Chain A
């Protein structure tokens, strides 16, 4: 290799609605774990019209070194612009690694960038460790039923980091160095942003519900939602919700969807009925106080997250549970 990659580990500041997305601080923790194995300094980079404020906030929260790439006109997310701006910059910096959030945005711009950089690329990273001197990354595999340990076979490394998998980075004693501000011209892009349509309105009750009864594809048919409704009726303050496939099938409206592309809920009790537990779903409910999972597949990933595991056909189990509730009433 003519130029060994001895540059920084670059954390690209994650944004949501023009503000710093909290997952950014988890990316920094992941970068610190990577740096422990592969060396290198951590460098935060924010892109966009308001990059200076974002970079400053990320630096203050983590105590890290940051660069603001101020791009006049880049006032919304544009994956192609990200790739076109970052590829030459990371090349010049001889960056060892680039980290993005495992989100709709991160998954939009990072894979193409990895191709441009000739990087080893792993998405949904949940763990970083060193095994016999070698960097090993962990991600979910096989429908989330297994974890996969992966070794990159060279540098640079381009990864997306699973939200919730790494701790929130804390600032150290010393204040961060001042943010470096660089103005970058908006690159010419093939894709053109249009005016964004309004997003879905999430069910207000979902965010506030004390108990969420959630339906997955495993409920089999929409008629079985009635069973779940009766189950929900046993609890006070309970709301029905669903995984993406259930909403795609029209069994429930998208306003009831829990997960990466739906609502995030933190009820006291989450009853997962026929939900396999793919990361896209569990990202929206992993913070629930108590999780009960009902599924016929004993290997369903949801059981790894459950406080109580019920391996049963819900069309048999829920009626039995309802009988218990009604016995208590009489």
Chain B
């Protein structure tokens, strides 16, 4: 079989996932740094979950498609990879990195590029931005590093493997849409949408639980130095009065009612 024919027979998708703390984790700052309790809850970043769902839908439509989940982070990040396997990803690769300080987006993209480049994926998906840091950088930076055409904030896609094309709709300001056609290989960052991420199946989860995940240390991939440095984290200054209502539920309700009445808003 020729290289080209083989490529067509097993299209390869990569999905890049980030593990984030649960958004309700209490935040404590000390000397400009976040102090975490050590028993925090972690999730797959919201938009990444939608991106994974897109990848799995493509696999549902084209059973030959192979989905590889990749995540960079400390050991605990393997939980999101196991969840991805549970949801139906075929394989998972863990890029092991330190946690404090977290690597900068440009470093994450470079490590992903070092891994993904030689694997020659047909399509790489990421979430539009992480839920916690909200940089929106890793996807489009990775595309540039791999010299791939890229569309960000994609809300609909149509993969045409025969024509080696993907047609997408991306979301613009105010919800307007832009339609694009990209030649494969390409990278798309996926915006959340109506297509709710599926739940893992029990059988997949059990298999994922036992699986030994391939793990590579980012140091071995040659992560470049950071171009930016976090100096400190601090609490935002309140932009408005932020009057905190106190007392029982009913007392707070009475107070709010009085405030709104006084301001002639009620």
Contacts and interface: CB of A to CB of B under 8 A. Distances in A.
A211 interface: yes
Interface of B is mostly: mixed
Interface string B247-266: 00110111011011101011
A304 B27 contact: no
B25 to A, nearest CB: 9
B237 to A, nearest CB: 8
Interface in A176-216: 189-200, 202, 211
Contacts of B227: 118-121, 152-154
B206 to A, nearest CB: 28
B174 interface: yes
Interface stretch (B64-72, B74-82, B90-98, B147-155): B147-155
Contacts of A291: 240
A187 to B, nearest CB: 13
Contacts of B24: 296-297
A38 interface: no
Contact of B236 (A77, A146, A199, A321): A146
A83 B140 CA distance: 11
Contacts, number: 262
A193 to B, nearest CB: 6
B173 A309 contact: no
B221 interface: no
Interface residues of A, number: 99
A148 B233 contact: yes
B177 interface: yes
B175 A249 contact: no
A152 B178 CA distance: 33
A250 B195 CA distance: 10
Contacts of B256: 292, 308, 310, 321, 324
Contacts of A276: 23
A80 B140 CA distance: 11
B217 interface: no
Contacts of A316: 249
A131 B32 CA distance: 15
Contact of B259 (A112, A140, A141, A308): A308
Contacts of B226: 153
Interface string A125-145: 000000100001000111111
Contacts of B144: 83, 111-112, 115-116
A107 interface: yes
B149 A191 contact: yes
A194 B179 contact: yes
A103 B173 contact: yes
Given A121-B227, A190-B149, A317-B253, A111 B136 contact: yes
Given A16-B173, A308-B245, A310-B245, A112 B143 contact: yes
Contacts of B171: 104, 261
Contacts of B29: 146
A136 to B, nearest CB: 6
B105 interface: yes
B182 interface: yes
A127 to B, nearest CB: 10
A294 B195 CA distance: 28
B228 A150 contact: yes
A99 interface: no
A310 B140 contact: no
A190 B263 contact: no
Contacts of A296: 24
> Nearest 6 pairs between A and B by C-beta?
A190-B149, A199-B176, A112-B144, A320-B253, A111-B140, A194-B179
Interface of B: 23-24, 26-27, 29, 32, 34, 46, 105-106, 109, 129, 131-137, 139-141, 143-145, 148-153, 167, 169-183, 186, 191-194, 196, 225-245, 249-250, 252-254, 256-257, 259-261, 263, 265-266
23 contacts: A80-B150, A104-B152, A104-B171, A104-B173, A108-B151, A112-B150, A115-B109, A143-B131, A145-B27, A145-B236, A146-B27, A149-B32, A150-B228, A151-B229, A190-B182, A191-B150, A194-B181, A199-B172, A276-B23, A304-B242, A305-B240, A307-B243, A317-B253
Interface of A: 16, 76-77, 79-80, 83, 103-105, 107-108, 111-112, 114-116, 118-124, 131, 136, 140-154, 189-200, 202, 211, 234-235, 244-245, 248-250, 254, 257, 260-264, 268-269, 276, 278-280, 290-292, 296-297, 299, 301, 303-312, 316-317, 320-321, 323-325, 328
